Chain A
Amino acid sequence: MSLSSLQLCLLFSSALFCLGLMAALSRSNTILVLLGVELMLNAANVNFIAFWRYGPNPEAATGVVFVLFAIAVAAAEAAVGLALVIAIYRHQKNIRLQEATRLKG
């Protein structure tokens, strides 16, 4: 069977999403976990652009606008996230996620 370009784009974004997810699930360095989340957000952006590109009314540019806003949100998330990493580092003297287990039970 043959895949259309749109399906190819979607497969690309899915793969990117899952890569990000796997990074978030496995890496012990909190910064890399954070970057995994960033990759997941990026994957959604790929979807928006692909759907805009092959969608019914590209002249409305909705997908493009959405991606612009999503990039801004992702940047804001990165800023807050990295600040939190620094805050954790201050108490823990390292940033290994699996050691942040004061709260449990």
Chain B
Amino acid sequence: MSLSVQLLWLIPALPLLAAVVGTLAPRGEFKLSASTAIAALTLSFLLSCGALITALADPSAHLTSNFTWFDLGHGAVRLGWLLDPLTALMCVMVTFVGLLIFVFSTGYMRDDANAKQFFCFLSLFAAAMLGLIIANSLLLLFVCWELVGLASYLLIGFWFHKPEAAAAAKKAFITTRIGDLGLLLGLLWLYDSTGTLLLYDEGQGVLDPVVLAGLGGSTAIGLLIFCGAVGKSGQFPLHVWLPDAMEGPTPVSALIHAATMVAAGVFLMARVFPLLTPDALIVIAFTGAITALLGALIACAQSDLKRILAFSTVSQLGYMMLAIGVGSWVAAIFHLLTHAFFKALLFLGAGSVIHAAHHEQDIRALGGLRGPMKTTFVTFAIGMMALAGVPFLFSGFWSKEAVLHAAHGWGFSQIPFYAGLVAVVLTAFYMTRLVAEVFFGHPRGNGAAHAHENTAAMTLPLGLLAACTILLGAIGTPWWPWLQRTLDPEFLSEPGGAGLMATSIVLVALGLGAGWALYGRKLRQKSAAADPLAVIAPRAFAFLAARMKFDKLYAATFGRLSDTLAACADALDRHVWDGVVRLLARLGRFTGLVNREADEEGLNAGFDATSESIRATAKAYSRAHTGDAHGYLLMIAFGFVVLVFAVLVGGGR
């Protein structure tokens, strides 16, 4: 059974239809909504498998189906679908993982009053994500990209009655929008210089060699597009939203903030890989390395179950970007696929724990769940070992190996490679800590004490995901690099990675050993007891626990600057008419902030502070609007005189 490229649109269309049906269903029709969503996604999964068969028939071909959306007179805007192994594999992954998470959600969200809407949003999300994957036009991709963002906003804020959830949703939306702005500018620039946004178009698309050869200045374009990926994939310095996004229901975290949406940035970079110049790749590689290290470091000192997993996601996404940067997008996609499965497994496992423990998320208050929750424990341990990179049996090991191998072979610098190695140790360490705290010892809280295994709707997906986590490693081993060859027919497997492999096995063992030595040998007795790591290095631990104190540093640097500027603006305001000057001063500060995105410490609290100061400006303006009509008429005459002078001086001719 194969699916022709002309029918590729069916894959996103079915979940979209399910979302519409779900919206129209009467309130409380949870079953209808859920079963439609699951049925639609099952069909999409089957279609994706068909598409995969089509794509595998000739892995090097890029099948396209383009059509004209509208005619501008001086050129038409065209959209289309694209089918190649990358698309097909991503589709299969998203639909399969998505399907399991949908099934899991039927158990997890059963008692929620708004479960019907939840499935609508999930379907909408799946449709947008699939549309993003099959798009052959960067414009269509951008549209879906924004829709994915919107769905994510809705889902993070699903429990809107929690103020943290609402704030997290806002933060996620605004932060990713900053990246999207760069992406949009990049696309505009690209359109400006090539006149098309189609990826492949019989030799005329932006990725076709002819056009690529004629494209100048593409470092900037590549970096602007990368901005979008930085936002969406939670790369440094825009990673701040991802951990906060854990306020959403756990299946959402699994689907969006672990398996699919955050991977969209990596997918985008892999997709437009030919556009990226070596200079752009250097930036990408270092960004990825910093993110991988940073995420792993912070994860070591968190105590919220989901937050640890979130920072590990940040770290793993850093690995993927690192792989792209060092030129091996194939390794990045391999890691993306394996990560999707084991991270979904871990998140669903965490969800299972949280559900059973009556929404207790603090690992210090859990413990001893190994006994009552056997299935969850076993599957979670499999996921944990995959993430930590326990050798040979688990897929995570092979994909991480591929990334490290590529980084090792990078000619420009070895720093990213070493950063990756350090992150390997840290990953093994914090995952050991997590498992030891949650599943071993004895219960330290009310929730954990009364926990028991969940229903089959929740454990079945866990089992399936665990099986995949183990099996998936087989498709990309150095001895049989099927995945790599499928994605990139010119892929050459280089032997001689044995030394490297041995090194990383040793490092994993080191991490596991250190974790067990600190947390496993002497198990925590009381939830209030100090963390062993905090005993050894209290200041470092506190620093990491506060997520490197971004907010405090911000207050010390930007806060003071802002106060000074505000004082100046106020002084000027007293002498100059209305709030115009204040507006300009504030605006200057705003652009200054945006330009200095690289200053990590300014970022986290920066959004709130900036939007607050803009709002203050607006309020000042609002007060200046006194409602006296004389002032209005005065403004006409005043504007007239100013404009005349502007034209005469500006030399309009």
- Chain A residues at the B interface, C-beta cutoff of 8 Å: 21, 24-26, 33, 97-98, 100-105
Chain B 614-653 residues near chain A, CB threshold 8 A:
622-623, 625-630, 633-634, 637
A25 touches B633 (CB 8 A): yes
A102, B623: Cα distance in complex, Å: 13
- Chain B residues at the A interface, C-beta cutoff of 8 Å: 622-623, 625-630, 633-634, 637
Q: What are 7 of the A-B contact pairs (CB < 8 Å)?
A: A21-B637, A25-B634, A26-B630, A97-B629, A98-B628, A100-B629, A105-B625
- Chain B nearest CB from A42 CB (Å) reads 17
What residue of chain A has the Cβ atom nearest to residue B622's Cβ? Answer: A105
B630 touches A103 (CB 8 A): no
- Chain A nearest CB from B255 CB (Å) reads 44
Partner of B627, one of A24, A26, A101: A101
A101 touches B637 (CB 8 A): no
A24, B635: Cα distance in complex, Å: 12
Residues of B within 8 A of A100 (CB): 627, 629
Residues of A within 8 A of B637 (CB): 21, 25
Residues of B within 8 A of A97 (CB): 628-630
Residues of A within 8 A of B633 (CB): 21, 24-25, 33
A87, B73: Cα distance in complex, Å: 51
B630 touches A98 (CB 8 A): yes
A25, B637: Cα distance in complex, Å: 9
B630 touches A105 (CB 8 A): no
Partner of B626, one of A24, A25, A101: A101
Residues of B within 8 A of A21 (CB): 633, 637
Partner of B625, one of A25, A26, A98, A104: A104
B628 touches A101 (CB 8 A): yes
A51, B627: Cα distance in complex, Å: 39
- Chain A nearest CB from B642 CB (Å) reads 15
Residues of A within 8 A of B622 (CB): 105
A25 touches B623 (CB 8 A): no
A56, B634: Cα distance in complex, Å: 36
- Chain A nearest CB from B632 CB (Å) reads 10
Residues of A within 8 A of B625 (CB): 104-105
A103, B496: Cα distance in complex, Å: 78
What residue of chain B has the Cβ atom nearest to residue A105's Cβ? Answer: B622
Residues of A within 8 A of B630 (CB): 25-26, 97-98
A105, B624: Cα distance in complex, Å: 7
- Chain B nearest CB from A77 CB (Å) reads 15
Residues of B within 8 A of A33 (CB): 629, 633
Residues of A within 8 A of B628 (CB): 97-98, 101
A103, B630: Cα distance in complex, Å: 14
- Chain B nearest CB from A97 CB (Å) reads 5
A100, B630: Cα distance in complex, Å: 10
Residues of B within 8 A of A102 (CB): 627
A12, B219: Cα distance in complex, Å: 63
B627 touches A104 (CB 8 A): yes
